Amino acid sequence: MPAAEGVLLRSVTMWLLLQSLLLLASCLCSAAAFPKGCYPSEEEGLKTFRCSHARLTEVPRDIPNDTNKLFLDSNRIPFLPRDAFRDLPLLLELDLSHNAIASVESGAFRGLAEHLHSLDLSSNRLVSVSKDAFNNLKAKVNFSNNPWLCDCRLQELIRTVDLVAGSSGGIVCHSSTQEEHVGKAFLQVIADTDFCNVYKKTTDIAMLVTMFGWFAMVISYLVYYVRQNQEDARRHLEYLKSLPSKQRRSEESSTISTVV
């Protein structure tokens, strides 16, 4: 009986050891599939994937598709391509702060419109971004601490998104179509200046100048054409006067018909 118990005990021990090895191998395989410095966790009941300070130069492709919170902050990501997050339908929070993002393609956030409620793009290298990149996005967005160009494009972008409370003061004109706005908060500037209206007026003036130029050219050509014909007719009449009277009358009739 003791021998049988010993065999059973050894069998149970071996089985538990095997299960532990299989679990460890599974964890190692899962970890190996993630970029170095990235790991999954659970925070406040939400599935989280952290890649902070992981020296990433692009958005990772092997992010679990049930991720609710994604941290890609403090990396070296230079731009966001189309469909960068299309496989993350349950994503609620996305932190892309402190990267080198200078470009956001249209459709970069496709698939996140319904669920995403927080998007942090602060402390990047954004100068000018099309509003189309944020179409239908309901998330609160943080655009602070970027080297923005203050113009009509930025004005349209700010009107498209819902800014994080208190972050608007960090959207400062690093450059501007009007030099006096440099260094000022963008929302303070557009309280007195409508960049898009200024752009429209400039475009209208340019169109008027172009139309006036063409009109002047047409008038000049018509005046030249009339004067040239008058000069030719005068010369021809002078020539006719020098001819014998009979031939002159015939030529004058022909000339008058031509001029008329």
CB 55 within 8 A of CB 32: no
Q: What is the pLDDT of residue 41?
A: 94
- Alpha helices in the chain, H assignment, sequence order: 2-33, 152-160, 186-189, 195-241, 245-259
Q: What is the pLDDT of residue 86?
A: 92
Phi, psi of 24, rounded to the nearest 5 degrees: -65, -45
Distant-in-sequence, close-in-space partners of 237: CB < 8 Å, separation ≥ 6: 252, 255
pTM over 0.85: no
The three-class DSSP label of residue 148 is: strand
Residue type at position 251? E
| 230 CB-contact burial (10 Å; exposed 0-12 / middle 13-18 / buried 19+) | exposed
Output the tens digit of pLDDT for each of the chain's 260 residues. 455 555 455 555 565 555 555 454 444 444 447 888 999 999 999 999 999 999 999 999 889 999 999 999 999 999 999 999 999 999 999 999 999 999 999 999 999 988 999 999 999 999 999 999 998 899 999 999 999 999 999 999 999 999 999 999 999 999 998 889 999 999 999 988 999 986 444 444 445 545 555 555 666 666 666 666 666 666 666 665 665 655 555 555 554 444 44
